[in-house]
Structure 1
Amino acid sequence: MSEDFSKLGFAKTYIYPALALFLIPIACLFFYSYVQSVYDQQFLDAAIADIRTDPQLKQDEKEGLIAFYTTYPPSSLIVSSIPTAAAWREIQDTQYLVEQYSLAWAVRICWACILGGIAAFVLTGIGVILSLQSQSMQYVSLLVGWHLLRLFCTLEVIAQGLLVFSLSFWIPAFFFNIYIVKILLLFAILALGAIGVVIAAIFKRPSDDFVVQGKILTREMAPQLWYDLELLSSKMQTAPPDHVIAGIDDNFFVTQLPIKVQDKNEEVQTLTGRSLFVSLSLLKKLPGQEADAVLLHELAHFSGNDTLYSQRIAPLLARYDHFLEGLYEGGLSRPVFYFAVMFRALYEISLGSLSRQREFRADRLAASGTSPHDMAHALLRITAYSQYRAELEKEFFDAEEAHEQVNLSERIDGGFLAYTHSFVDKHNVGELATAHPFDSHPPLQQRLEAIGFRATPDAMRNALYDESIGTWFQKIESAEMLERDQWNAYEEQFRQFHENILAYRYIPSNEQEQELVEKFFPPVTHTAAKDRPVAFDFEKVTYEDWDGPIYYREIESMTLENEWGARLDLVVKRNGKNKTIKLPLSKKSNEQQEVMSTLESYYGRAASAIAHQQSLNDPEPTLPPGDTFSMET
């Protein structure tokens, strides 16, 4: 969000695209108004000619009729309630009436879309302004806004779908006096598809599971920790948490959302109620009073009902984000998507504003319960730890060789104190922020200033110079074992993930690299036409009717053809020239899918490896020709 504000500005990023909401209605309004004016003029010219040559009419009657039709053209008479209009409609041809009705209703739909869009912009602005007042108003405005916007957006998609479909009839009919059934069917399918996707997105329940890696600390496992938490809760005038989860993430947080806790054995337990997550690794680094300050900060979120409103708002945001996906995927609903995403972006401003207010309030209460220095020192230590851990993880991840082991926790414990000596000098510490799974925290400088801590470089260095083991860590029985077990599981997952990534980086130059790539992309054989085998490995595809294998680096494009039996036409580039090589496919759809999915997967790996190797030597790498590959039909 901040990047969008700074580089493009909020208007260019969100509001200007949202104006696409009016694109189809305004364009259709001009077109249908023009068609009506042409038809009105044609009718008027014919009517005047008939009236002037009618011998049965007196001159004053002729002038009266001409004045009437000039005042009330067909576009007006078709929807007018005056008795003369009803009489006029009774004598008109049915097809002519249908055409006039369709034009009149199209114009009405255009105006409804335009006026509805203007009203939606106004109501959206009012809702966002109200949401800035308080947490309760924020929830109410989002709740009302979600129900109104999904109704408006759905009706808007239906209306704009009808307009686009009507254009597919009226443009050929008006300009060429024909209509094309295939075009009508095409746009009908597009419109119905967009409407169907959007309606489905309203009722489909999004997956909102929040999984936490950690261990649930019962009172039996950590009686001293629970006792002291109750004392801190009493000081903060709130009830203690229902659950405490101990993990190795680089943050602390509280929530009232249902969470799934997964332990080292991947067993999952769902918790409801008020949960507190504590980082074992950070508790080890935080001296007693600093840990008190951090925990008081988290408990302050309970006392301020912050977690209660987050619990109410989070499901609404999840459903709204899922609805946005439906609008985006609907195709014809894309203009409505840009309007809906603008509201989401505006609401994000409100969420960010009140979130920062909550953080400042929790900081103040924690500082008053301990001291500003304790709170400030804790924030500095947590920020330094997170930064150091992120740098080490990046170092491990960027390595071009597989790790026999990832000794991340050992590196952190052994090097953190030395890192703190240079942390203040090497980083713009004031612009950093502590990590959090739900909220964005204010920059560290603002938080320190808000509690009255003058963050000079010397003061920050002194705050970080402490290597004693935190007292709260010692309040957890078997804390060392709990932390070690979780680090072992995390480091092994990290090692395996890094191996998988290396498979997308390597163009094997030795047996070890080839062995690693083939671990994830082993040689496989599938069935092509007439039960004949087609073989794949990490660098090529082989088929017995070809002169030789096709290497993925040669592939320019691929097209699936079904005219004379299913086949893949592979366009390869050799010796500077393109050549099409055919791969006939099995008649069985599952065998066709196996061949195509394997080719896409193995080709994608090769293209990624080529791009990565180029990036190592080229600061501005260009993708290999095959990276434009797509499966076409």
Structure 2
Amino acid sequence: MSQNFSSLGFVKTYIYPALALFLIPVACLFFYEHVQGTYDEFFRQGMRDEIKADRTLNPQERAEELAQIENVDLSSLLVSSEPELVAWRNGLPADYLYMQLSIIWAIRVAWFCILAGVGTCILIGISVLLSLRSQAMQYYSLLAGWHTLRLFCTLEVIAQSLLVFSLSFWIPAFFFEIYIIKLLVVFGVMALAAMGAVVMAIFKKVDGDFVIEGHKITPEMAPQLWYDLERLSAAMQTAPPDHVIAGIDDSFFVTQCPVKLKVKDSDELETYTGRTLFVSLSLLKKLPGDEADAVLLHELAHFNGDDTLYTQKISPLLAKYGHFLQGLHDGGISLPVFYFAVMFRMLFEVSLGSLSRQREFRADRLAASGTSPQSMAQALLRITAYSYYRNELEQEFFDADQAHQQVNLSQRIDGGFLEYATAFVDKRDAGELTTTHPFDFHPPLHARLEALGFSATPDVMRPALGDDSLGPWFLKIERADDLEREQWEHYEEQFRQFHENILAYRYIPSNAEEQELVEKFFPAVDAPANKNRTVYFDFEKLTFEDWDQPTYYREIESMTLENQWGARLDLVVKRDGKKRTIKLPLSGKQAEQQQAIHILEQYYARAMSAIAYQQSQEEPVNVAEPGETFSFD
């Protein structure tokens, strides 16, 4: 996801929403200060009336006492620790005392929310600035910032939830001298839901599994590859990787995070800990030896600089942070706190991106010193061109409105890459492109090339991509061709099936083949209705025996679940230019109700998606009358 980090864009996107943090406490502060001031004035007026009615006072004494009470506030007397005032307070009616104290505590809670918010802004702002100094400072700043934010956000949600709940009592009570039980219950449930969502987000275990697809390359499978990796590692003054995984992704990367590798022909996962190097077989096949050396030295430089060590430490914190943000988002009342927490997450994102780009420049520089700047630059060009060529072909396959019998993506890439690569450098935006990576933020291509002292002009770049020989590192792996082909076949079949599924959401069937594909994913099914009757669904309509005709999904404008006098769905449909409500009585069993509703939601969503897609193609759609089939002119 791209982020707008310009000063104005950041303010509009993150700062303004974050100010919502103060909306509830500031509004409560103004409201309760007004309420408290009103009751203080009522109290003073009562004292004035008593003094004026006291016949034992002479005019001078009456004037003196009237002057003294102008500085007396009921709210101050209620929290005084003087023995006489404590005894007076204890003599007040309990309900009156509780109401007055609730106002005082609401003001205190509002001030806590405001001051804590300002203080947290300052502390987290300092931690973000410190995080820009080094990877170690980044980790410790994020660690401290995460714990501070977690504590602050949790307390803030609890406090603001209590304030919102108190408003549901005090607004009707103060302005209309009534209290509404239903309103109290609704806001009470909302407050509990917000607090519950946040607490659950803190304690729920976060799934941080990093699953990759590939094949583990052992020293026995590729002794020369391991020997050369050890040689390059020694040159980079770091230990060689513990594991090498070969796949067909369009990138290379290293990590110290535990990785889970899918076992061939199985749903099981093998976990590997330690330092892992992932190499792309498809890229190794296209990289000349010196370019492959440069790429591998670049990855080993991340080991050398402890980049992977700090990524290993920071990744779980970011995962927990993301999970906590989801809890704040789902809490409802906690949304203002969510926007506040998102702002600081994005500030840390600036820090993470800044140091990540510095790491990439450093790794490029070290790799260039171990080979040559030209080798590193040409490798970057080749990998970037390959990545974008592959993405363009995948998009072409994905956009097709016909099912693929075979995808043959790898063959298309191998057959057309050289021509694409030589033309790639003429793209006006080629220098702004970046290479993909699962952990780091890569700088734009032109910035990396310029840092290497490589002229990024088309005339210089074009000859650099003209070498189409088989990469020597690819040949160092036993059965590399078979390993690559097996993985491509698996990937292409997954892609083909996914594309078919997407087509099921695009088609309003115009022929038997399209209908067959839609029915593959949305077959005719039935679900129990009331009184042991059945409602039938297919890809375009639902049928029930009480109805004189089926109801087509395209006719439905809204659906409402009603539980009065038995569960039923009220379907508002537009037919023959008129709206009418069609009732679908549901089973009395909760599980069977959910089954019918779930099927209807799925099939209805598919139909709406297909209609929207066809309209987006700007092709006339002939909406068939009930009982007819769909067709196009």
Fold-level similarity (TM above 0.5): yes
Give runs of aligned pairs for residues 34-113 of structure 1, distance below 5 A: 34-59=34-59, 61-113=61-113
1:411 alignment partner AA: R
* Structure 1 Cα separation of the partners of residues 145 and 58 of structure 2: 62
State the Cα deviation string for residues 180-226 of structure 1 (Å, max 9, x = none): 11111111111111001101100111111111000011111111100
2:588 is aligned with 1:587 = yes
- Partner of residue 627, structure 2: none
* Structure 1 Cα separation of the partners of residues 449 and 60 of structure 2: 89
CA pair 263-418 structure 1, distance change in 2 beyond 3 A: farther
- Partner of residue 14, structure 2: 14
* Structure 1 Cα separation of the partners of residues 62 and 381 of structure 2: 92
* Structure 1 Cα separation of the partners of residues 428 and 466 of structure 2: 17
Using the TM superposition, give the Cα deviation of residue 58 of structure 1 relative to its aligned residue in structure 2, in angstroms. Answer: 4.9
Using the TM superposition, give the Cα deviation of residue 97 of structure 1 relative to its aligned residue in structure 2, in angstroms. Answer: 1.7
Q: Which moved more, 1:70-79 or 1:296-305?
A: 70-79
* Structure 2 Cα separation of the partners of residues 416 and 2 of structure 1: 28
State the Cα deviation string for residues 366-420 of structure 1 (Å, max 9, x = none): 0000000000000000000001100110111111111111100011111111111
Q: 1:557 aligns to what SS in structure 2? A: strand
- Partner of residue 439, structure 2: 438
Quick check: 2:44–2:72 contact (8 Å CA) kept in 1? no
Q: Which moved more, 1:555-564 or 1:77-86?
A: 77-86
State the Cα deviation string for residues 603-633 of structure 1 (Å, max 9, x = none): 11111111111111179x9xxxxxxxxxxxx
- Partner of residue 610, structure 1: 611
Give runs of aligned pairs for residues 311-326 of structure 1, distance below 5 A: 311-326=312-327
- Partner of residue 115, structure 1: 115
* Structure 2 Cα separation of the partners of residues 379 and 350 of structure 1: 24
Q: Which moved more, 1:347-356 or 1:40-49?
A: 40-49
* Structure 2 Cα separation of the partners of residues 6 and 549 of structure 1: 55
- Partner of residue 282, structure 1: 283
Q: 1:497 aligns to what SS in structure 2? A: helix
1:129 alignment partner AA: L
Quick check: 2:258–2:273 contact (8 Å CA) kept in 1? yes
Q: Which moved more, 1:85-94 or 1:20-29?
A: 85-94
* Structure 2 Cα separation of the partners of residues 271 and 59 of structure 1: 92
2:142 alignment partner AA: L
* Structure 1 Cα separation of the partners of residues 124 and 586 of structure 2: 54
Give runs of aligned pairs for residues 184-583 of structure 1, distance below 5 A: 184-266=184-266, 267-583=268-584
1:67 alignment partner AA: A
* Structure 2 Cα separation of the partners of residues 560 and 8 of structure 1: 45
Q: 1:218 aligns to what SS in structure 2? A: coil
Quick check: 1:264–1:486 contact (8 Å CA) kept in 2? no
2:119 alignment partner AA: A
Using the TM superposition, give the Cα deviation of residue 54 of structure 1 relative to its aligned residue in structure 2, in angstroms. Answer: 1.2
- Partner of residue 626, structure 1: none
* Structure 2 Cα separation of the partners of residues 493 and 109 of structure 1: 55
* Structure 1 Cα separation of the partners of residues 295 and 63 of structure 2: 89
* Structure 2 Cα separation of the partners of residues 66 and 100 of structure 1: 24
State the Cα deviation string for residues 330-383 of structure 1 (Å, max 9, x = none): 000011101001010000000000000000000000000000000000000000
* Structure 1 Cα separation of the partners of residues 188 and 412 of structure 2: 62
- Partner of residue 625, structure 2: none
Quick check: 1:78–1:104 contact (8 Å CA) kept in 2? no
* Structure 1 Cα separation of the partners of residues 57 and 316 of structure 2: 73
- Calculate the TM-score normalised by the size of structure 1: 0.96
Percent sequence identity over aligned pairs: 68
* Structure 2 Cα separation of the partners of residues 69 and 242 of structure 1: 81
2:378 alignment partner AA: H
Q: Which moved more, 1:284-293 or 1:95-104?
A: 95-104
List alignment gaps of at least 5 residues for structure 2. Answer: 622-633
Q: 1:138 aligns to what SS in structure 2? A: helix
Q: Which moved more, 1:413-422 or 1:64-73?
A: 64-73
* Structure 2 Cα separation of the partners of residues 82 and 15 of structure 1: 46
1:254 alignment partner AA: V
* Structure 2 Cα separation of the partners of residues 263 and 95 of structure 1: 68
Quick check: 2:14–2:343 contact (8 Å CA) kept in 1? yes
1:174 alignment partner AA: F
Q: 2:506 aligns to what SS in structure 1? A: coil
Q: 1:426 aligns to what SS in structure 2? A: coil
Using the TM superposition, give the Cα deviation of residue 526 of structure 1 relative to its aligned residue in structure 2, in angstroms. Answer: 1.4
- Partner of residue 25, structure 1: 25
Count how many residue pairs are aligned between Structure 1 and Structure 2: 620
- Calculate the TM-score normalised by the size of structure 2: 0.96
Q: Aligned Cα RMSD in Å? A: 1.5
Quick check: 2:215–2:247 contact (8 Å CA) kept in 1? yes
Quick check: 1:264–1:489 contact (8 Å CA) kept in 2? no
1:5 alignment partner AA: F
2:244 alignment partner AA: V
1:488 alignment partner AA: E
Give runs of aligned pairs for residues 133-144 of structure 1, distance below 5 A: 133-144=133-144
- Partner of residue 145, structure 1: 145
CA pair 283-394 structure 1, distance change in 2 beyond 3 A: same
* Structure 2 Cα separation of the partners of residues 263 and 7 of structure 1: 47
* Structure 2 Cα separation of the partners of residues 485 and 496 of structure 1: 17
Q: 1:331 aligns to what SS in structure 2? A: coil
* Structure 2 Cα separation of the partners of residues 2 and 584 of structure 1: 47
Q: 2:70 aligns to what SS in structure 1? A: helix
Quick check: 1:264–1:485 contact (8 Å CA) kept in 2? no
State the Cα deviation string for residues 291-313 of structure 1 (Å, max 9, x = none): 00000000000000000000000
